[in-house]
Amino acid sequence: MGGSAGVVRESGFAAWRRRPLGRPGNVWRPAAFLVVICLAATVLSPSFLTVRNLLAVLTSSSFLVVLAVGEAFVILVGMIDLGVESVLSAGGMFVAWLTVLHGVAWPLAVLAGLAAGGASGFGVGLLVSRGGIPSFIVTLGTYWGIRGVALLFNAGNYISPDAVSPARPFGFAWIAGNLGGVSVLIVVALVVVLLGQAVVAATPLGSWIKGVGSNENAVRAVGLPSGRIKVFVFVVSGTLAALAGIMLTAWQQSIYPLSGEGDSLAAIAGVILGGIPFTGGRGSIIGAALGVLVIGVINDVIVLLGLPSLYQYIFVACILILAGLQARLQQAK
Task: Please give the Cα distance from 318 to 197 (Å, whole number).
Answer: 28
- Domain span at residue 114? 25-41+48-328
Average pLDDT over residues 155-183: 91
pLDDT digits (tens, 9 = 90+) for 209-219: 999 999 998 98
Residue 214, CA distances (Å) to 77, 209, 326 in order: 8, 9, 21
Task: Indicate if the pLDDT at residue 94 is higher than 70.
Answer: yes
> Is it the case that residue 302 has pLDDT exceeding 80?
yes
Rounded mean pLDDT, 15-20 = 48
Residue 74's pLDDT band (cuts 50, 70, 90) = very high
Assigned domain for 6 exists: no
Look at residue 57 and tell me if it is in a domain: yes
Domain count, the chain: 1
CB 125 within 8 A of CB 232: yes
pLDDT-above-70 percentage for the chain: 89
User: CATH no. for residue 295?
Assistant: 1.10.3470
Asked whether residue 2 is assigned to any structural domain, the reply reads no
For the ranges 30-39, 120-129, 215-224, the maximum mean pLDDT occurs at 120-129
CA distance to 4, 83, 192, 243, 333, per residue, from 117 (Å) = 57, 11, 16, 8, 42
Residue 280, pLDDT > 60, answer yes
Q: Is pLDDT of 2 > 50?
A: no
Q: What span, in angstroms and rounded, lies between the C-alpha atoms of 273 and 279?
A: 14
Q: What is the three-class DSSP state of 179? A: strand
Average pLDDT (89-111) is 95
In a domain, residue 7? The reply is: no
pTM of the model: 0.89
Contact between 67 and 60 under an 8 Å Cβ cutoff? The reply is no
- With respect to residue 111, please indicate whether it lies within any of the assigned structural domains: yes
Mean pLDDT of 247-263: 93
Q: Please spell the DSSP secondary structure of 191-235, one letter per residue.
A: HHHHHHHHHHHHSHHHHHHHHHHHHHHHHHHTT--HHHHHHHHHH
- For residue 135, tell me if it sits in a domain: yes
Poorest-pLDDT segment among 1-15, 106-120, 154-168, 221-235: 1-15
Does the residue 9 lie in any domain?
A: no
pLDDT score at 33: 84
Residue 142 within any structural domain of the chain: yes
Q: Average of pLDDT values for 250-259?
A: 93
